[in-house]
Structure 1
Amino acid sequence: MASTPSTTLATPAYCNWNLEDASFPEQFAWGASTSAYQIEGGWDADGKGPSIWDTFAHQAGERVFENQTGDVTCSSYTLWEEDLKCIKQLGLTHYRFSLSWSRLLPDGTTGFVNQKGVDYYNTVIDSLLANKVTPMVTLYHFDLPQCLEDRGGWRSGATVEAFDAYAHFCFRTFGDRVKLWLTINEPYVIAELGYETGIMAPGIKEPGTGAYLSAHNMIKAHAAAWHTYDEVFRKQQGGLVSIALNSDWAEPFHPNSPADQEAAKRHIGFCLDWFATPIFMNGDYPVVMKSKISAMSKKQGYPSSRLPEFTPEEKMTIKGTADFFALNYYTTRKIKHQDYACGQPSSTGDKEAEQVTDPSWPVATGSSWLAVVPWGLRHLLKYIKDTYNHPIIYITENGFSQSDPAPLDDSRRWEYFRLTLQEILKAIYIDDVRVAGYFVWSLLDNFEWTCGYSSRFGLFHVDFENAALPRVPYTSAIEYTKVIANNRLMNLHG
């Protein structure tokens, strides 16, 4: 991982390449992303079973901003035609959405199939294709069926089997038309916030073990689903399957400090590489994770490492189970080495790396954690290219939020998108990164997890106070439409 400051990456120089003249590659995927729980509503409509987010948001307490829920949100379950109008207005070539596992299989198993859920997703897929929009479908975006969580959720090996059966069902049901699949969205977030700190659904707090165990099973579930597609469906359907991994970029707080340089490497190791190393490389966890967690576990009196081990057979099954690299990028952090005093076990303590936001970086108004650092994406893309054998990369999420109420003229936000797209062009033309597509998060303002409706990422504004839930384009949507139509950035300098 690079430990030099951001300004030193651009080699070779721009001698024979002009940013203003550059187009994006032919057949570049221009997209926007959503997820089922965040936009669909209809939380108990037409036979849908409860998910962990239904349960989490309905529980008393201040788990979510102002106790808001996704019960209705954008009501895309009944207003899909309005979403389709937004997609067509933008001129998207691709649309990424997720399937609600419990809308299709109410108890999480194939014992009972909810046909109305199948009909809904058939309508979405067929209408996208009728309008020459390619669907990219995520099987699992945070909303585990509550029935499966009641039996252990991602901490249970039984969920690996249930996910594989669910994936098989989806490939069989929709794979004749869907050619781009993502198994799990952001397993890092699910593990850390769902099973370590309990900030997000299902709200489990098991510091030092919960994240590692749930991640272990998610990696195995992903690999099982990939093999199911590869062995049963690929020859006939001809699609591609991957997993959506999120990561910050990490810069050493003191660029010349060896301790901070190593801490920055650990930050990437305990986030992106945690999942990418086993899936894209060797079937096993990064060496830095194995050594740090083992040493810390020993100091804390554990008989063995808190990080589970893959068997030799599992390693062989896991390695190479991705057909492209799907990356969600939002921000960059400066990283300091931080000694941990071996108190209560935690994944944060194992990492021994403190995250710091540079005060000179602007922060998105709707998300205090989201420092806007477009050049960090270029660094991360180059890191993925160099580390993971030059894969084809889709940027499956990137976005900047506004606080509510959000002005329709979000010119400041569009400037951040524009700068980000410039960095992608540099990655393609200077760093030789094979970026195949870019998806904005999100198509619509929606239920932003624990932030509820206070954080607005949409290209389209949604008036949640109006029962009709009208969708109105922000300035960023209008500008994004121009970029898509021309396959290049327009008016680079204003």
Structure 2
Amino acid sequence: MTGKRFPDDFQFGVATSAYQIEGAWNADGKGLSMWDYYMRTAPDMIVDHSNGDVACNSYYLYKRDIEMLKELGVDVYRFSIAWTRILPFGTANYINPKGIAYYNNLIDELLANGIQPFVTMYHWDLPQTFNEKGGWLTEKTVDWFGDYARVLYKKFGDRVKHWVTINEPHVHCFFSYGLGWHPPGIHSPGIGFYECVRNLLLAHARAYHIYNDDFRATQGGKIGISLDMEWPVTNSNLDEDAEAVQDFMAFNIDYYLQPIFSKEGNYPERFIKRIADASKRQGYNVSRLRPFTKEEIVYLRGSADFLGLNHYTSKVVYRNESLRGAYEVPSQNDDLWVGSYGDPSWPHLFKLWLYEYPPGFYGLLMHIKNTYGNPEVYVTENGMYTEHATSLIDNERVQYYRNYLSALLDALYDGANVKGYFAWSLMDNFEWSNGYIFQFGLYAVNNKDPNRTRTARKSALVYKEVIRSRIIDYTYDVNPYEERNGGSIHRVHAFFIFCLSVYLTYVY
């Protein structure tokens, strides 16, 4: 037990996204997203050759999902809306009434159970019609996103008071337009990647200003953006490694925070200069990073009421001569010119990219506090995966959650303005190019069962106790198998007592 307590108004929740859980990919008038199309044209890009056609089947099982939320005792639920379920052709010329009805039912059911909706507008599922017109490489998508946001405000803004515009522009652009591993599968590192991020940030600002100008006065909600960030550390006293840390922060943290949350706005100067210098060496007449105009700098600056922070891990970073020629030219990795790895002393090194290092979470939260005026922060994703897990006893995940929540508590007590925390994820789901191999869920999902049975893991029960008690008790232990059996026994016992009381009252 840490001795520290979460405030009574601190909000606990869990997070999911539409394509990863909903299924019903072409049901009730839903249009084709770029993920729907990609699964039919490039299925080999998914490790286990799976897809999100059915996923957790939450389109039909959303009431069971809400039962799970009630079991956990969460205050808020972060989910995303599928753009093409609302606007099948992408544009606002036709609004799908069945899509509106589905999200109305979900939102109303949440509120009826005392759970606040925390809605993400865009979690990587661009309409395929727009993908074919240039996707996030064209500024037209900024306008289309603004039209989509306006529809969401009109239809759901009377009940939704927290909106996340964009989820993880860095990851989305890196995998979709940098590596080309996600749809639309465009390999354009160092050029398309930067253009994608630029347009996503502008799309976020467009949605913010539409709300600010036309809806805030009547709806009274808040608009934010969810940014993914890893924390860099160094294991040396070398000047080049200290420089590597600063450059890593410029490319992976301040690149996204500074345009929106700083007083001066714009990209970090360090970031601008490194790309300009690299572009010049490579023979480009101008920097591969298209600059914001003065008007765009002003438009972006201050365009968020809160920061959504997605954080999973940290990295040890370094720079030395061994990195020369290690990266594709041009690319954002070559522009950054930093190496990274997980420290062998950190738990879960075998997890490839996800290393447990809670001090990095604390360091990141304090950086945000001290550098950007202590904005309102919601940790919109945090969690860890297991691989091909069959047991409900997930002690590694329990340890991870306790340690990261403890680091968050330390940051809270040191003045960080964190208002809420969302565990990723409510249940096992489609993890993009990793399919169903990686399992992040507090609840296990049986994909072999047509009913997609959901079962609470130990981590769910431990998180439930944190929410109930508002403390982190390292001595608290629970067995999910005993809970399941005990729960059913208690229900039978209660029914027996009820029947006996009726008999004694009216018969005996």
Q: Under TM normalisation by the shorter chain, which class is it?
A: over 0.9
**Is 2:469 the partner of 1:486?**
yes
Matches within 5 A, 1:391-402: 391-402=375-386
User: What is residue 308 of structure 1 aligned with on the other side?
Assistant: 290
Deviation at 1:258, TM superposition (A): 1.5
1:388 to 357, 369, 372: 372
Distance 1:183 1:410, change over 3 A: same
Kindly provide the amino acid, as one letter, of the partner of residue 341 in structure 2: V
2:166·2:204 contact (CA, 8 Å) conserved in 1?
Answer: yes
**Is 2:82 the partner of 1:100?**
yes
User: What is residue 410 of structure 1 aligned with on the other side?
Assistant: 394
Rounded to whole Å, the distance in 2 between the matches of 1:343 and 1:435 is: 38
Deviation at 1:195, TM superposition (A): 0.5
Kindly provide the amino acid, as one letter, of the partner of residue 275 in structure 1: Y
1:364·1:401 contact (CA, 8 Å) conserved in 2?
Answer: no
Rounded to whole Å, the distance in 2 between the matches of 1:438 and 1:248 is: 17
User: What is residue 272 of structure 1 aligned with on the other side?
Assistant: 253
Rounded to whole Å, the distance in 2 between the matches of 1:47 and 1:337 is: 52
Runs of 4+ with >6 A deviation: none
Deviation at 1:368, TM superposition (A): 2.0
User: What is residue 347 of structure 1 aligned with on the other side?
Assistant: 332
Deviation at 1:26, TM superposition (A): 2.1
Deviation at 1:493, TM superposition (A): 8.1
Deviation at 1:41, TM superposition (A): 0.3
**Is 2:230 the partner of 1:248?**
yes
Matches within 5 A, 1:206-285: 206-254=188-236, 256-281=237-262, 282-285=264-267
Rounded to whole Å, the distance in 2 between the matches of 1:340 and 1:228 is: 46
User: What is residue 5 of structure 1 aligned with on the other side?
Assistant: none
1:475 to 458, 470, 491: 458
Deviation at 1:387, TM superposition (A): 1.1
1:300·1:343 contact (CA, 8 Å) conserved in 2?
Answer: no
1:141·1:185 contact (CA, 8 Å) conserved in 2?
Answer: yes
1:37 to 12, 19, 23: 19
User: What is residue 420 of structure 1 aligned with on the other side?
Assistant: 404
Rounded to whole Å, the distance in 2 between the matches of 1:383 and 1:171 is: 32
User: What is residue 145 of structure 1 aligned with on the other side?
Assistant: 127
Deviation at 1:386, TM superposition (A): 0.9
Rounded to whole Å, the distance in 2 between the matches of 1:193 and 1:45 is: 28
2:342·2:349 contact (CA, 8 Å) conserved in 1?
Answer: no
User: What is residue 452 of structure 1 aligned with on the other side?
Assistant: 435
Q: Quick check: which one's helix share is greater?
A: 2
Deviation at 1:490, TM superposition (A): 2.3
1:263·1:353 contact (CA, 8 Å) conserved in 2?
Answer: yes
Rounded to whole Å, the distance in 1 between the matches of 2:328 and 2:186 is: 20
How many percent identity over aligned positions?
42
TM-score normalized by structure 1? 0.93
Rounded to whole Å, the distance in 1 between the matches of 2:440 and 2:115 is: 22
User: What is residue 362 of structure 1 aligned with on the other side?
Assistant: 347
1:128·1:135 contact (CA, 8 Å) conserved in 2?
Answer: yes
Per the alignment, in what secondary structure is the counterpart of residue 335 of structure 1?
strand
Kindly provide the amino acid, as one letter, of the partner of residue 242 in structure 1: G
Cα offsets for 1:157-191 (capped at 9, x unmatched) = 11000001101110111000000010000000111
1:154·1:217 contact (CA, 8 Å) conserved in 2?
Answer: yes
Deviation at 1:274, TM superposition (A): 1.2
Rounded to whole Å, the distance in 2 between the matches of 1:445 and 1:350 is: 36
Rounded to whole Å, the distance in 1 between the matches of 2:146 and 2:328 is: 38
**Is 2:315 the partner of 1:330?**
no
Rounded to whole Å, the distance in 1 between the matches of 2:272 and 2:474 is: 48
Deviation at 1:343, TM superposition (A): 6.5
Cα RMSD of the aligned pairs, angstroms, is 1.4
Distance 1:445 1:61, change over 3 A: closer
1:330·1:398 contact (CA, 8 Å) conserved in 2?
Answer: yes
Rounded to whole Å, the distance in 2 between the matches of 1:248 and 1:21 is: 28
Rounded to whole Å, the distance in 2 between the matches of 1:150 and 1:80 is: 32
Per the alignment, in what secondary structure is the counterpart of residue 423 of structure 2?
strand
Kindly provide the amino acid, as one letter, of the partner of residue 392 in structure 1: E
Deviation at 1:340, TM superposition (A): 4.2
Deviation at 1:61, TM superposition (A): 5.0
**Is 2:166 the partner of 1:175?**
no
Rounded to whole Å, the distance in 1 between the matches of 2:162 and 2:207 is: 14
Deviation at 1:406, TM superposition (A): 3.3
Rounded to whole Å, the distance in 1 between the matches of 2:39 and 2:75 is: 34
Deviation at 1:357, TM superposition (A): 1.3
**Is 2:108 the partner of 1:126?**
yes
Rounded to whole Å, the distance in 1 between the matches of 2:23 and 2:108 is: 21
2:272 to 265, 287, 290: 290
Rounded to whole Å, the distance in 2 between the matches of 1:340 and 1:316 is: 37
- Over alpha carbons, which structure has the higher Rg? 2
Deviation at 1:90, TM superposition (A): 0.3
User: What is residue 6 of structure 1 aligned with on the other side?
Assistant: none
Unaligned runs of 5+ in 2: 478-508
Structure 1 stretch displaced more, 127-136 or 280-289: 280-289
Rounded to whole Å, the distance in 1 between the matches of 2:288 and 2:443 is: 44
Deviation at 1:20, TM superposition (A): 3.1
Rounded to whole Å, the distance in 1 between the matches of 2:128 and 2:265 is: 30
Kindly provide the amino acid, as one letter, of the partner of residue 280 in structure 1: F
Aligned residues: 473
**Is 2:117 the partner of 1:117?**
no
Unaligned runs of 5+ in 1: 1-18
**Is 2:33 the partner of 1:51?**
yes
1:197·1:206 contact (CA, 8 Å) conserved in 2?
Answer: yes
Rounded to whole Å, the distance in 2 between the matches of 1:30 and 1:78 is: 25
1:340·1:350 contact (CA, 8 Å) conserved in 2?
Answer: no
Rounded to whole Å, the distance in 2 between the matches of 1:409 and 1:203 is: 37
